[in-house]
Amino acid sequence: MRPTTLISATELATLAAAGEALIVDCRFDLADPERGAREYAQAHIPGAVYADLNRDLSDLSKTGLGRHPLPDAERFAAVLRRLGWTPQTPVVAYDDANGTLAAARLWWMLKLVGQRDVAVLDGGLAAWRAAGLPLRAGLESRPPTEVAVHFDERRVVDTAELRELLQNPHFLLLDARAAARFRGESEPIDPVAGHVPGARNRPFSENLAADGRFKPAATLRAEFAALLAGRDPAEVVHMCGSGVTACHNLLAMEHAGLTGSRIYAPSWSGWLRAGGEAAT
């Protein structure tokens, strides 16, 4: 497997038929946290195992770090062992939200532990269905493995570092939330509306074409280059409400060949818990 950002439904079908990849269903619904697991059991891509955003890709026992705190490396390793992952195993993540909840999050977390062959299904489960490809009901598992991982913490930004970075005029903070939330006109989840002072808005939805797939790499490159305005991608940090959809913007930049940006993991919910101010 060569894709390291996005993979098409037909490419994934080939991998699935050959049993050459770990396929992870990451469906999740913020309003109904159990819906993803229920719908996985009803119908999923054959061979796929399930990872839950709250239980597997976050550590909700951590406080002050936003709504979806990043788990520590050992906790994530335990999830990977249960899923049957090894460093040599190519991984494909998918969800039913075009990668936003939470396929791109798993993709990013695997990048943090050094996985090269990991991709997100372009267009998500809808693209698989549209291609007329089969689905399977029930629960699936793979033989557990014995692995240990370490996060590359240089690629994760905390609140203290973000405050320092905001003093640098060359730094760019991109917020992936919808424009109305960024402007403070509505806030359906967090206690305070608005955005981090100095941030720019790049709604993750702008990464997608009308069919739900990512825009062509050249288009994404031009759009992000306009936001970067000559900055190196390494001077970019992504955020959102809780550190999940921010990964969609990072994935889009990587797919466009703009490599090296990072994630402010606590994001808006963590910024507020740390006493950060809000701009509108």
Domains of the chain: 6-130 (3.40.250.10), 153-273 (3.40.250.10)
Please, what is the average pLDDT of the chain? 96
The burial of 166, by beta-carbon neighbours within 10 Å (0-12 exposed, 13-18 middle, 19 or more buried), is given as: middle
The pLDDT of 130-139, averaged and rounded, is 98
Please, which pLDDT band fits residue 101 given cuts at 50, 70 and 90? confident
The whole-angstrom separation of Cα 251 and Cα 262 is 10
Per the document, the length of the chain is 280
Given a contact cutoff of 8 angstroms between Cβ atoms, the answer to whether 102 and 32 are in contact is no
Given a contact cutoff of 8 angstroms between Cβ atoms, the answer to whether 189 and 67 are in contact is yes
Candidate list 121, 240, 246, 252, residue with the active-site label: 240
Please, which pLDDT band fits residue 195 given cuts at 50, 70 and 90? very high
Give whole-number Cα distances, 25 to 44, 81, 241, 244, in Å.
7, 16, 22, 15
Give SS3 for 44: strand
Label the pairing between strands 118-121 and 91-94. Answer: parallel
Number of CB atoms found within 10 A of residue 206's CB: 15
Given a contact cutoff of 8 angstroms between Cβ atoms, the answer to whether 92 and 119 are in contact is yes
Kindly report, residue by residue over 222-234, the tens digit of the pLDDT: 999 999 999 999 9
The whole-angstrom separation of Cα 220 and Cα 232 is 16
pLDDT at 1 over 80: no
The whole-angstrom separation of Cα 144 and Cα 154 is 29
The pLDDT of 30-50, averaged and rounded, is 97
Give SS3 for 201: strand
Kindly report, residue by residue over 59-85, the tens digit of the pLDDT: 999 999 999 999 999 999 999 999 999
Q: Catalytic residue at 240?
A: yes
Residue 216 is given by DSSP the state P
The pLDDT of 251-262, averaged and rounded, is 98
